[in-house]
């Protein structure tokens, strides 16, 4: 059985071991060498503003990217940070919106069938199905239109 003293020792040892474990494995530039050509990247080098482009290739000494129709090579020593654009989840968000909207539409249809005093009380199955479909459609559109993705920093000097 764990006591508070044993549990606190385990937590302290885990917290102390985390930086050691994080230091093992790959170096930051190794992560850049594994990036796939065609990835959308944002590079901050020197005192310039961020450069957005498509990754053409990476070597041990430099990064090549296509930005605004021109190829650029940026030396590793000049690079302060590199971020990769995360893929969007528009379809997933749309499907979640579809489920929520359809559920809401069905809920409205069923609730109005239960209570005849509100003027909607006798909705037939076709109207309930229509409310369900309309709610699902609206939910899907909202889910697809919500912003998704973003930039994820993979290298920082």
Q: Is the pLDDT of residue 16 over 70?
A: no
- The string of pLDDT tens digits covering residues 107-133 is 888 877 665 555 555 667 888 888 899
**Distances, alpha carbon 130 to alpha carbons 98, 112, 124, 127, in Å:** 14, 13, 10, 5
| Residue 15's pLDDT band (cuts 50, 70, 90) | very low
Instruction: Specify the pLDDT at position 44.
Output: 93
Model pLDDT for residues 80-103, shown as the tens digit of each residue: 999 998 877 888 888 999 999 999
Q: State the pLDDT at residue 11.
A: 43
- All structural domains of the chain with their residue ranges: 4-86, 90-148
Given CATH 2.30.30.100, say whether it is the number of domain 4-86: yes
Predicted pLDDT at 69: 85
């Amino acid at each position: 059985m764990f006591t508070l003293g044993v549990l606190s020792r385990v937590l302290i040892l885990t917290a102390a071991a985390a930086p050691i474990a994080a230091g093992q494995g790959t170096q930051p530039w190794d992560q850049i060498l594994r990036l796939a050509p065609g990835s959308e990247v944002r590079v901050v080098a020197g005192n310039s503003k961020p450069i957005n482009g498509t990754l053409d290739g990476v070597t041990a000494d430099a990064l090549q990217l296509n930005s605004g129709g021109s190829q650029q090579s940026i030396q590793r020593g000049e690079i302060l940070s590199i971020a990769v654009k995360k893929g969007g989840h528009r379809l997933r968000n749309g499907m979640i919106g579809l489920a929520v909207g359809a559920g809401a539409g069905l809920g409205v249809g069923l609730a109005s069938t239960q209570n005849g005093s509100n003027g909607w009380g006798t909705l037939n199955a076709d109207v309930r199905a229509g409310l369900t479909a309309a709610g699902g459609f609206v939910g899907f559109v909202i889910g697809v239109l919500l912003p998704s993705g973003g930039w994820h920093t993979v290298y920082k000097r």
